[in-house]
Chains A and B, each alone.
Chain A
């Protein structure tokens, strides 16, 4: 009987790992559909960002309540994973609490810590569910998250975590009851910090029933964890992994700097100084593409950003355009980018390479009106706890609108004409530029 369980467990573990690996590989491929980008600056500053922003969650602490609750869930998640090691080894080897005999009384202390963390995770997730569904915190319940998949996704994650933590505590509670009955196989470790208080709920059960509950909880917990692992790549919850590379690749230069377009820089240079123009350019050389129309025109960091977004909405809540009722929502820019790159990825899965589908990120996902509302104020960039830059995508799409489509509001056209002819965005005579000094 035990060997059957072991084999079942190993098959489950291998299958879950394989499916996870396949999906992560396809996300990796999708991200690298983006263009290459330089990452200037020394790596010690990048590692510092990983420590401060990702591991230390520095920006989360701009809002204390969610920061503390999130920290509990995060710390719980990481530390409880140590216990996962024992659970997996028990499953493979057919043992029960493999580490207990080696660790002695320290084992009980360690389990107590895990249980305390499990409780804080459970309570925090319940509060998060309340904030989302009952008190309806604005950034978590309106706009892009008003309904549909994003709302379901968020609730599914929280409910799963509540269930997993409950299973862990139920399992330990039954375990303690079984220890008191001196049931075979159940190592005497003593009561655990939290579960001893729910143990009385199960004390009326027979030994057989207790074993059934304990084993069911054990199996459901580990199966749930593996299912959750495989849910990650389809969910906004992927941020728990991608926050780290995203912090590493966060720009180190001042946020106000827009990236240079060398093609155009050179074109202007050759127009001004024709002797510098290369003479060996073939006549049929492809025209460079300006700005971004679709996800393949963005950088791979932009696409990594899209997969790292957990839809918390801090960007949108701080966006001056969004605050004043405009259509623009930086969060939606990121969600749209991810949806489109997923669509392109699925297209590649079917056709081996991308087959034109008549759609693009610009227009089909993100409208001109959204792009036009941006003031380039960097509030969204500053607000993001995981170093996402929605502004970069907005400005790249604007470049495409202007230079590829000539899709420009009349007033901007006028502004450009003025800059070109009068060296100022207004219709003023260049010879009056220093008139102020003489008045």
Chain B
């Protein structure tokens, strides 16, 4: 695995093609780190020159802003934009829909103008260009898979087809849940809910969503967001289905399908 920071590129006097914004979950959460590594594996395999910010990256401020703490959001945004603009970053790819939404939609008003791409769209593009070659049709060929739309990629940014095309490229049998695409049900993590206990209710949002996914009969729930992945895994565990149902990010699925 080859990972270079922006600082290293700078020292060499070269520029990467794209900045990979890892995000807090992708950096610190053990489950999400596997998604980060899978995506890096793909970038390495395809031969894309990318950089990370490393320790210069900070939370985009998404959960702070949505919990109501605009001061903290503005502070985080200020610092990140200073770093990004300092390096003259033009193009960013990220595996987190929350970082994607904030970088793409909320930083421009604060002086941070970048081309921001979510990894679902990035992977779709690589597949369309024939840069990703899968061994024997891919590790998931013919498998029954359902796809969970994250709110921040779907409704928030109207990206529904890119992740589905990535799945189709792996020749899977895609079974949709009743609540999908614009009608997709949240995993329960958005709006800073990830970081606090749910309010009193009859069940948890992730239990409700995981049950719907399990009921499709799929053996894999494909996701595109580190928070959805955590929430859905928790829901699958609660339903005692962790032996028969896996929750995987589309990047992990592609990484497992790559030719050696």
Residues in A lying within 8 Å of B, measured CB to CB: 62, 253-258, 260-261, 264-265, 267-269, 272, 290-291, 318, 320-321, 323-328, 369, 372-379, 381-382, 395, 398-403, 408-409, 411-412, 414-416, 419-420, 423-426, 428, 430-437
The answer to whether B201 and A325 touch across the interface, beta carbons within 8 angstroms, is yes
Q: Which chain B residue lies CB-closest to A269?
A: B78
Interface size class of B (residues with CB under 8 A): 35 or more
- Least CB distance from A85 to B in Å reads 40
- Least CB distance from A373 to B in Å reads 4
The answer to whether A437 and B3 touch across the interface, beta carbons within 8 angstroms, is yes
Can you offer 22 A-B residue contacts whose CB atoms are under 8 A? A254-B101, A254-B104, A254-B105, A255-B157, A260-B110, A324-B202, A324-B208, A327-B200, A375-B190, A377-B155, A377-B191, A395-B66, A403-B71, A419-B58, A419-B59, A419-B61, A423-B58, A431-B55, A433-B57, A434-B3, A436-B33, A437-B52
Give the chain B neighbours of A431 by CB distance below 8 A. Answer: 55
Q: State the main secondary structure of chain A at its contact with B.
A: helix
Chain B, residues 47-67, CB within 8 Å of chain A (1/0): the string is 000001011011101011111
A320 vs B210: C-alpha distance in the bound complex, in angstroms? Answer: 13
Q: B147 at interface (Cβ–Cβ under 8 A)?
A: no
Kindly identify, within residues 198 to 223 of chain B, every residue whose CB is under 8 Å from any CB belonging to chain A: 198-205, 207-209
The answer to whether A382 and B195 touch across the interface, beta carbons within 8 angstroms, is no
Q: Which chain A residue lies CB-closest to B190?
A: A375
Comparing B84-92, B135-143, B161-169, B181-189, the segment that makes contact with chain A is B181-189
A325 vs B207: C-alpha distance in the bound complex, in angstroms? Answer: 12
Q: B11 at interface (Cβ–Cβ under 8 A)?
A: no
Which 3 pairs across A and B sit closest by C-beta, in order of nearness? A256-B156, A402-B68, A325-B202
The answer to whether A436 and B37 touch across the interface, beta carbons within 8 angstroms, is yes
A412 vs B76: C-alpha distance in the bound complex, in angstroms? Answer: 16
Give the chain A neighbours of B52 by CB distance below 8 A. Answer: 434, 437
The answer to whether A425 and B205 touch across the interface, beta carbons within 8 angstroms, is no
The answer to whether A379 and B70 touch across the interface, beta carbons within 8 angstroms, is no
The answer to whether A403 and B68 touch across the interface, beta carbons within 8 angstroms, is yes
Give the chain A neighbours of B207 by CB distance below 8 A. Answer: 324
A265 vs B205: C-alpha distance in the bound complex, in angstroms? Answer: 34
Give the chain B neighbours of A291 by CB distance below 8 A. Answer: 68, 70
Interface centre among B70, B109, B184 (most CB of A within 10 A): B70
- Least CB distance from A201 to B in Å reads 47
Kindly identify which residue among A378, A403, A434 contacts B5, using a CB–CB cutoff of 8 Å.
A434
Q: B193 at interface (Cβ–Cβ under 8 A)?
A: yes
The answer to whether B183 and A254 touch across the interface, beta carbons within 8 angstroms, is no
Give the chain A neighbours of B65 by CB distance below 8 A. Answer: 258
Give the chain A neighbours of B1 by CB distance below 8 A. Answer: 437
A253 vs B67: C-alpha distance in the bound complex, in angstroms? Answer: 21
Kindly identify which residue among A328, A375, A382, A419 contacts B189, using a CB–CB cutoff of 8 Å.
A375
Q: B128 at interface (Cβ–Cβ under 8 A)?
A: no
Chain B, residues 226-253, CB within 8 Å of chain A (1/0): the string is 0000000000000000000000000000
Kindly identify which residue among B33, B74, B182 contacts A265, using a CB–CB cutoff of 8 Å.
B74
Q: B196 at interface (Cβ–Cβ under 8 A)?
A: yes
Give the chain B neighbours of A419 by CB distance below 8 A. Answer: 58-59, 61, 63-64, 72, 76
Assuming the A-B contacts A320-B185, A375-B188, A382-B182, are A412 and B203 also in contact, with contact meaning beta carbons closer than 8 angstroms in the complex? no
Q: Which chain A residue lies CB-closest to B57?
A: A433
Q: B175 at interface (Cβ–Cβ under 8 A)?
A: no
Q: B171 at interface (Cβ–Cβ under 8 A)?
A: no
The answer to whether B106 and A265 touch across the interface, beta carbons within 8 angstroms, is no
- Least CB distance from A406 to B in Å reads 10
Assuming the A-B contacts A268-B74, A324-B205, A327-B199, are A399 and B155 also in contact, with contact meaning beta carbons closer than 8 angstroms in the complex? no
Interface centre among B104, B155, B199 (most CB of A within 10 A): B199
The answer to whether B54 and A434 touch across the interface, beta carbons within 8 angstroms, is yes
The answer to whether B193 and A375 touch across the interface, beta carbons within 8 angstroms, is yes
Give the chain B neighbours of A320 by CB distance below 8 A. Answer: 185-186, 188, 205, 208-209
Give the chain B neighbours of A272 by CB distance below 8 A. Answer: 78
Q: B260 at interface (Cβ–Cβ under 8 A)?
A: no
Kindly identify which residue among A255, A258, A325 contacts B203, using a CB–CB cutoff of 8 Å.
A325
Q: Which chain A residue lies CB-closest to B184?
A: A379
A87 vs B45: C-alpha distance in the bound complex, in angstroms? Answer: 77
A326 vs B205: C-alpha distance in the bound complex, in angstroms? Answer: 10
The answer to whether B183 and A318 touch across the interface, beta carbons within 8 angstroms, is yes
The answer to whether A415 and B75 touch across the interface, beta carbons within 8 angstroms, is no
Q: B256 at interface (Cβ–Cβ under 8 A)?
A: no
A416 vs B33: C-alpha distance in the bound complex, in angstroms? Answer: 22
Give the chain B neighbours of A434 by CB distance below 8 A. Answer: 3, 5, 22, 27, 52, 54-55
The answer to whether A268 and B190 touch across the interface, beta carbons within 8 angstroms, is no
Q: Which chain A residue lies CB-closest to B204?
A: A324
Assuming the A-B contacts A423-B58, A433-B27, are A264 and B71 also in contact, with contact meaning beta carbons closer than 8 angstroms in the complex? yes
